Amino acid sequence: MKKLSLTTQLTTVAFAATILFTGCKKEASDALSAQEEEQAATYSTESEAESEVAFNDVFDNVMGVNAELGTGGVGIFGRVASENGRVVNVDSLPRCVTVTIVPQTPGVFPKTVTLDFGAGCFSHGHLRSGKIKTVYTGRLIEPGSSATTTFENFKMDTISVEGTHKVINTTGSTPGSNQRQFKIEVIDGKLTKPNGNYVQWSTVRINTQIEGNGSVIPADDIFRISGIANGKVKRNNIIILWNSEIIEPLIKKFICPWISKGRIRTVRQSLPANTPWAAILDYGTGNCDNQAMLTVNGNTHQITLH
């Protein structure tokens, strides 16, 4: 099995940019060569993975602010000591983050929470800057409550993040199940790199909590994720549109910043369902790491998530 870092892969395919761009302008006719199709599948799947990482980080931070708003103690809010289900000590929130909650009166909603990372604040593996604003209609662990997040000049490392991220507690919506469940929507999401390359991403995910439902410690919470997405990626003079579907539920642990298991199928728009140029992104067997395997038409490469 051939293993390449994501950076190496991008370098080795750069020579094909002009050819692929010509093919993508004729995308409706599906007149791409085998090499062009493989590169289009690779670009779209890598972009799907980048989007998953960025907006999963938002979910963790929205849930992590405190136990009145979510679960407390996850995302940048780190591990917590809890007492009677309440967060009493956040032990890893860096001082360079300013958290503002309005109104501060307990139990009064809606509340607006602003996470201000200033000009740059390194925490939990990423340099964040700018602001994230979230409006909570109620406590997120209660059915029917929602949290809507928008961004103000926000960057994750060097990537600008835009769009709307919405979390809705849909617990009880699945007949016969009392597992905690959240519907996650990313509306007009966009990740823009300093060189002008970008990814546009919209998705609907269902996060069902499969472990930790009866616990007051958020670190043991594990979610099963299903859903679909669509996107558009621009790399230099290449533009590709794609659709994706989770074909094996993704497994997300609050104690891990990465998806640790599951598979996503990504396919360029306008291709038939049975196309051999669908790409499969496999997150592995459950280990917490930033590695995933990408397979296109029988060729498999390892990619590194950032």
Mean pLDDT of the chain: 86
Supply the pLDDT for residue 173: 75
**Cα–Cα separations (whole angstroms), residue 196 to 24, 158, 206, 236, 238:** 19, 12, 31, 8, 12
**Cα–Cα separations (whole angstroms), residue 114 to 99, 132, 135, 202:** 6, 6, 9, 23
Sites in the chain below the pLDDT cut of 50: 1-29, 80-91
**Cα–Cα separations (whole angstroms), residue 74 to 81, 220, 256:** 12, 10, 10
Q: What is the pLDDT of residues 208-226, one digit of tens each?
A: 999 987 777 787 899 999 9
Q: What is the pLDDT of residues 164-197, one digit of tens each?
A: 999 999 998 776 667 899 999 999 999 999 999 9
